[in-house]
Structures are given as structure tokens and as C-alpha cells.
Amino acid sequence: MSLFLDTGVIVAYLNPRDAHHDDAVGIIAAAIRGDWGDVVTSDYVFDEAVTLTLTRTRRAEAAVRVAELILGSGPEGRFMDLAYVTSQIFLRSWALFRRFTSRGLSFTDCTSVELMRRLRMSDIASFDSDFDGIVTRRWTTPA
């Protein structure tokens, strides 16, 4: 088993006021324990999570904390890998975005789906139902 981490889980984990905070804490705790197997996120999710946190909080230290979580330099240590969008993944993501614009998938979401396909991953930890029917979405801890 392996798991791709979406932006919402990362941001909710660090925000106690987020409606999904408790689920995010469970997901991240399970990831740190190794319950999900390999855990991956992407450079695009990194960008989205850091930017979203800075925009919402207007606090640079909060955005840095998100970056440290993803990069493994925070108190949780390194428990996830960072996958990078190549030019080939970018073009495939663009095609997917054009195909699924009516579903509400963002371009970043499309890069996540394409990276998951390249890495042969089927499960994403996300609170975003736009992924439903495309990949298997997890939003609680593993059974």
C-alpha cells in the first residue's frame, strides 16, 4: 500500500480550527507510523500548501511550518517523499485538466493524479470529493 497526500490534509493537520483537523491528525499519525506504506506528495502540492497557508494566516512562520512538515525537517521527521512534475507529467496533467474541468479538479489536482499514475499509486489522502471516481480517496486512518 502507498498513499499520496493532498494539500487539504497537510493544511488541516497544522490547523486545529480546520473542520478536518482530527481526520488529518489521524492520517498523518498513521503515515508517520508507516501504516500507509510509502507516502508521497508533490512539488505542486508543496507550492499550493505553503501558499494557501501564507494567504490564509498571513504568517510566514505558519507557511514555513507547512514546508518543514513536507520536507521532513519539522518535529515529525521525514515520513514522506516529494515527487516532481516533469514536462511529460505537466502535459498529461494539462490534457487531464481539459478533460475534467467540469468536475472541479484544479490543475494541481491533475498533476497529483498523473504523478500517482506514473508511480502506480491508487490511493490519495484528500478531503476533496472531486477525486472520487478517478482515484481511491482516503480521508480517515487505515482500517
Measure the CA–CA gap between 89 and 80, rounded to whole angstroms. 20
CATH fold for domain 2-84+120-138: Rossmann fold (3.40.50)
pLDDT digits (tens, 9 = 90+) for 109-134: 999 999 999 999 999 999 999 999 99
Listed by start position, the domains of the chain span 2-84+120-138
Give residue-wise pLDDT tens across range 74-118: 999 999 999 999 999 999 999 999 998 888 899 999 999 999 999
| pLDDT confidence of residue 100 | 87
pLDDT at position 141 is: 59
The percent of residues in the chain predicted with pLDDT above 90, rounded, is: 91
pLDDT tops 90 at residue 42: yes
Q: Nearest to residue 74, comparing CAs of 32, 33, 43?
A: 32
First to last CA, the chain: 12
- For every residue of 28-60, DSSP letters joined together read HHHHHHTTTSEEEEEHHHHHHHHHHHHHHH--H
pTM exceeding 0.85: yes
